[in-house]
């Protein structure tokens, strides 16, 4: 009995030490840069061009389910907006902010991006930005060969809920200590616009300002087309972590 007690005195501290070390490993923070940009697969139809986007983010949330260790979640400060950011179609992505998450293997990562009204001085020609959460700018070439400016304006009341994937498209993501990761919010306009008949664009109501006609698609202008594009954006937008 005395011999068994001595073994317990040695074994219990060892087990506690191993458990403590494992717990420490599972809580080591990993830096994740959060950015936004476009994804060009499939490519745009030849009668569309996209030049840039402007996004106004009110809040970002994160829910991660881990294989080992406690699940992890966070949200940015609800009383403070994240900010207004512009991103180019050519540059692919713009880094917005960064977060820390505990290392480990994640079964899933769910991100939420709540939009808010853009800054009044955002560089968006001719568009009221007070209720615009996302503005995508480009041009449309109609069947007559006339090129008109194109604006898609997602309402500031919208929220994107996105399941993150790795570079292979799978939902399981490994975060390793001492490595910096990128989480890229990607808008896929090629997919969002491809399923919509060109007839809808040919029959849109154009807005005229200073003798310049523009195709503005928003909650209050060309509403049917807005709903179709909005559905396409919400179903195709993804966050890739690498």
DSSP string, 87-133: EETTT-EEEEEEEEEE-EEEEEEEEEEEE-PPPTT-S-TT---TTEE
> For the chain, which residues make up each domain, given as ranges?
30-241
pLDDT tens for each residue of 170-185? 999 999 988 999 999 9
pLDDT tens for each residue of 131-161? 899 999 999 999 999 999 999 999 999 999 9
Share of the chain above pLDDT 70, in %: 84
**Residue in 162, 198, 171, 195 with CA at minimum distance from that of residue 34:** 162
Q: Cα separation of 151 and 114, whole Å?
A: 20
pTM of this prediction?
A: 0.84
Share of the chain above pLDDT 90, in %: 71
Contact 154, 134 (CB under 8 A): yes
Q: What residues pair up with 2 in beta bridges, in sequence order?
A: none
Which DSSP state fits 76? -
pLDDT tens for each residue of 46-66? 999 999 999 999 999 999 999
Q: Mean per-residue pLDDT for 12-23?
A: 43
Q: Are strands 132-141 and 147-155 parallel, antiparallel or unpaired?
A: antiparallel
Distances in Å between the Cα of 48 and the Cα atoms of 151, 164, 217 are 11, 28, 14
SS3 content of the chain, % helix, strand, coil (to 5): 20, 45, 35
pLDDT tens for each residue of 73-98? 999 986 677 889 999 987 767 899 99
**Residue in 176, 86, 162, 98 with CA at minimum distance from that of residue 124:** 86
């Amino acid at each position: 009995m005395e011999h068994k007690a001595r073994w317990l005195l040695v074994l219990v501290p060892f087990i506690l030490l191993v458990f403590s070390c494992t717990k420490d490993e599972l809580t080591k923070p990993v830096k994740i840069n959060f950015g936004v940009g476009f994804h060009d697969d499939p490519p745009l139809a030849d009668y569309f061009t996209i030049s840039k986007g402007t996004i106004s983010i009110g809040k970002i949330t994160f829910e991660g389910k881990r294989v080992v260790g406690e699940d992890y979640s966070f949200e940015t400060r609800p009383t403070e907006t994240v900010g207004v950011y512009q991103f180019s179609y050519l540059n692919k992505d713009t880094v917005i902010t960064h977060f820390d998450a505990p290392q480990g293997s994640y079964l899933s990562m769910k991100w939420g991006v709540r939009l808010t009204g853009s800054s009044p001085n955002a560089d968006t020609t001719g568009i009221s930005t007070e209720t615009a959460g996302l503005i995508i700018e480009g041009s449309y070439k109609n069947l007559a060969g006339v090129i008109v400016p194109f604006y898609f304006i997602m309402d500031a009341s919208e929220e994107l809920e996105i399941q993150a994937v790795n570079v292979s498209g799978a939902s399981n993501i490994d975060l390793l200590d001492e490595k910096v990761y990128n989480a890229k919010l990607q808008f896929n306009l090629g997919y969002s616009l491809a399923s919509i008949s060109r007839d809808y664009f040919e029959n849109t109501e154009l807005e005229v300002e200073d003798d310049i006609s523009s195709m503005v698609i928003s909650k209050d202008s060309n509403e049917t087309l807005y709903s179709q594009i909005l559905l396409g954006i919400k179903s195709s937008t993804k966050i890739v972590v690498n």
